[in-house]
């Protein structure tokens, strides 16, 4: 077994697990319900861990996580209908005139 990914957001960890499952890589989440220590001290920002069942999947799995979870494909840029400025795909509104992107 090998630790492949750590995150304090369990939802992100589960989406990583799902992405790996889609690629036929078996993994499981550790400490999903928190440890006794963190419950006692009320620590809610603990890190959850995603472990690989098979060590030989590590290289493939880390590539997948890097591509799909850490650096998702950049969204296509778009052109503002109000001022014709080109905007980065990560912007919800035009940087120039604040017009909200219509196709969102």
Which chain residues interact with Zn ion by CB under 5 A? Answer: 80, 82-83, 85, 94, 96-97, 99
CA 57 and chain centroid, separation: 19
Shortest reach from residue 74's CB to Zn ion, in Å = 20
Q: Judged by CB, which is closer to Zn ion: 16, or 80?
A: 80
Q: Judged by CB, which is closer to Zn ion: 39, or 83?
A: 83
What backbone torsions phi and psi does residue 48 show, to the nearest 5 degrees? -95, 155
Q: Judged by CB, which is closer to Zn ion: 73, or 92?
A: 92
Shortest reach from residue 73's CB to Zn ion, in Å = 24
Beta-sheet strands, E only, within the chain? 2-7, 27-30, 48-52, 78-79, 86-87
Shortest reach from residue 72's CB to Zn ion, in Å = 25
Rounded to whole angstroms, the Cα distance separating 86 from 55 reads 45
Place of tokens 């690989």: 52
């Amino acid at each position: 077994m090998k630790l492949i990914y750590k995150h304090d957001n369990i939802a992100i960890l589960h989406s990583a697990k799902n992405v790996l499952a889609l690629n036929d890589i078996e993994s499981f989440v550790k400490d999903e319900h928190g440890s006794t220590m963190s419950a006692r001290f009320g620590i809610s920002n603990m890190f959850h861990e995603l472990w690989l069942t098979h060590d030989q999947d590590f290289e493939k799995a880390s590539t997948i996580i890097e591509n799909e979870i850490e650096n998702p494909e950049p969204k296509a840029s778009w052109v503002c209908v109000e001022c014709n400025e080109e905007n980065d795909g990560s912007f919800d509104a035009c940087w120039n005139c604040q017009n909200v992107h219509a196709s969102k």
